[in-house]
């Protein structure tokens, strides 16, 4: 998405236009409320910029809002956290309208056990056990301040809020929670996996299409406000 946005912005506003996305996502992951900072020498109001970009962008990328930001604002560096949602379809037959946006698991999951298991992951911890190999050179400490499992009939959503994420961390947490929900592991297992810092002990990586970035969080003086932990 960022490459397309940069291309269209530079074509419209000039080659010196710079675009910085707040978050990089894996291929196949969706973004409902991505944030980007755009710097240009062109004279244009925020509402005009939104209209111009939407006129040029493909239909699956939309600029929903545009605001003037302080000089030097960087959407990535200013962010204090991100919230993701992972959608699971537990119906016996996969809903074709959700195929691009949900992981189909044709069985009931024990939501209570999943909730109990995820409690151990709240707080500041070393999340090395949930990090894919390409990201293991980075600092493994992350602050997860919210993990929720919400069920609506045959749809289940896992919500994750953290100050930062390791490579595949959200998808590995979901895959591990689903192992608990299926009854393959007990609720205490996830805390033991966290403490082990060993990726081999965690569950499988959940598929990318079920994950969506739903909000980028900023301090009160920034673009958005971060909720209380």
Percentage helix, strand, coil for the chain under 3-state DSSP, each rounded to 5: 30, 25, 45
| 26 belongs to the catalytic site | yes
Pairing verdict, β 211-217 and 30-31? parallel
Minimal CA–CA distance to 102: which of 155, 150, 148?
Answer: 155
* Alpha carbon distance, N-terminus to C-terminus of the chain: 30
DSSP 25-82: --TT-EESS--EEEE-SS---HHHHHHHHHHHS-TT----------TT--TTTT--EE
> Tokens 């010196």 map to which residue?
16
Catalytic-labelled residue, pool 16, 26, 65, 188: 26
Contact in structure between 135 and 167 (CB atoms under 8 Å): yes
Q: Which residues are the active-site residues?
A: 26
């Amino acid at each position: 998405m960022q490459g397309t946005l940069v291309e269209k912005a530079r074509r419209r506003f000039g080659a010196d236009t710079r675009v910085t996305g707040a978050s990089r996502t894996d291929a196949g992951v969706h973004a409902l409320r991505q944030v980007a900072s755009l710097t240009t020498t062109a004279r244009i109001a925020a509402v005009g910029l939104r209209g111009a970009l939407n006129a040029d962008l493909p239909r699956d990328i939309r600029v929903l809002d545009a605001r003037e930001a302080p000089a030097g604002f960087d959407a990535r560096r200013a962010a204090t956290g991100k919230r993701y949602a992972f959608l699971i379809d537990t119906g016996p037959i996969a809903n074709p309208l959700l195929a691009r946006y949900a992981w189909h698991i044709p069985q009931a999951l024990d939501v209570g056990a999943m909730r109990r298991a995820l409690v151990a992951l709240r707080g500041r911890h070393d999340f090395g056990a949930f990090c894919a190999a390409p990201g293991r050179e980075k600092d493994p400490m992350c602050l997860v301040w919210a993990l929720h499992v919400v069920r609506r009939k045959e749809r289940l959503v896992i919500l994750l809020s953290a100050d930062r994420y390791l490579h595949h961390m959200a998808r590995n947490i979901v895959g591990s929670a689903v192992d608990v929900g299926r009854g393959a592991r007990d609720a205490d297992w996830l805390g033991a996996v966290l403490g082990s810092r060993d990726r081999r002990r965690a569950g499988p990586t959940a598929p990318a299409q079920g994950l969506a970035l739903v909000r980028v969080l900023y301090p009160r003086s920034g673009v958005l406000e971060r909720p209380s932990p």
